[in-house]
């Protein structure tokens, strides 16, 4: 099941790239600033949250804007991919009914378009890193962290999108869970603020290890706990495998359900 799926995806890579480009063009075509919003959105969000959590709530973190930015960017990649990817099949019902192609291309194209946004946004972070921090060898880990993140997202989006095409409540459930998930992930605060008795339970959240790895790769500092990293690796592998199995099992019925 796995190798044929990868082979089919590779053979239709032209369609995958075309849909990814279409997603990016559709997102920004009516905007005057176009692709600049890929930079402006995270910068504006970082500016507002930095003011709130530096001068009002006062989270004691050195270079808090960079700390926040290094967490917001991967979170935005995750949340946007999950929410948009979940509804990607129902949003392309006409294409599913009329053409024969690997259906996983639809949610994966959403993930790739958001990955491009992540990479563009990281380009904004690097100059700030050069000014306010020292570039560390840990930056070499960034491609591996991004790969882990993508594998995790692909798995969970394949599951959610294949369920959403039959159970339309899934999109609403995903949106609600994503909001709660944000506050259970160290995006706006450090893991050190979590009460010690809850650290292990907290670390079971796969996004804890992933966000912590991003920060370690980009800003250096302390390594995330072994348990948090192991949990992220486990959930990424498990959901990726499970996502492919569930998606391919339900795929023949998509045209009927939609």
Task: Return the structure tokens found at 147.
Answer: 């790969």
Q: What is the pTM of this model?
A: 0.87
Crossing angle of helices 170-183 and 142-164, in 10° steps, is: 150
Query: Which string of b and e fits 244-258 if b means at least 16 CB within 10 Å?
Result: bebbbebbeebeeee
User: Given this model, what pLDDT does residue 252 score?
Assistant: 82
Query: Smallest Cα–Cα separation from 215: which of 187, 243, 234, 195?
Result: 187
User: Given this model, what pLDDT does residue 36 score?
Assistant: 62
Helices (H), 29-58: 37-51
Query: Smallest Cα–Cα separation from 218: which of 151, 127, 153?
Result: 127
CA distance 218 to 65: 13
Residues of the chain with pLDDT under 70: 1-6, 27-43, 45-46, 49-57, 128, 131-132, 256-258
- Cα three-residue angle 228-229-233, rounded to 5 degrees: 120
User: Given this model, what pLDDT does residue 220 score?
Assistant: 83
Q: What is the dihedral of CA 122, 221, 151, 237, to 10 degrees?
A: 180
Assess contact for 84 and 107: CB atoms under 8 A. Answer: no
User: Given this model, what pLDDT does residue 182 score?
Assistant: 94
């Amino acid at each position: 099941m796995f190798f044929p799926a990868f082979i089919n995806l590779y053979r239709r890579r032209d369609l995958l790239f075309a849909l990814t480009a279409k997603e990016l063009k559709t997102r920004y075509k009516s905007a005057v600033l176009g692709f600049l919003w890929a930079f402006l959105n995270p910068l504006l969000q970082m500016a507002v949250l930095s003011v709130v959590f530096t001068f009002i709530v006062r989270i004691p973190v050195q270079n808090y804007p960079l700390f926040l930015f290094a967490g917001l960017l991967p979170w935005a990649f995750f949340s946007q991919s999950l929410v948009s990817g979940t509804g990607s099949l129902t949003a392309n019902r006409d294409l599913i009914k009329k053409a024969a192609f690997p259906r996983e291309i639809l949610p994966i194209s959403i993930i790739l378009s958001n990955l491009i946004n992540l990479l563009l946004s990281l380009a904004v972070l690097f100059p700030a890193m050069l000014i306010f921090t020292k570039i560390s060898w840990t930056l070499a880990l960034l491609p591996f962290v991004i790969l882990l993140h993508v594998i995790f997202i692909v798995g969970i989006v394949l599951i959610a999108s294949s369920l959403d095409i039959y159970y339309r409540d899934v999109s609403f459930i995903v949106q609600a869970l994503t909001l709660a998930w944000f506050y259970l992930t160290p995006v706006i605060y450090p893991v050190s603020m979590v009460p010690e008795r809850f650290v292990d339970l907290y670390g079971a959240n796969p996004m804890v290890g992933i966000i912590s790895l991003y920060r370690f790769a980009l800003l250096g500092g302390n390594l995330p706990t072994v348990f948090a990293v192991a949990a992220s690796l486990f959930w990424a592998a498990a959901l990726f495998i499970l996502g492919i199995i569930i998606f391919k099992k339900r795929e023949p019925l998509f045209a009927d359900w939609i």
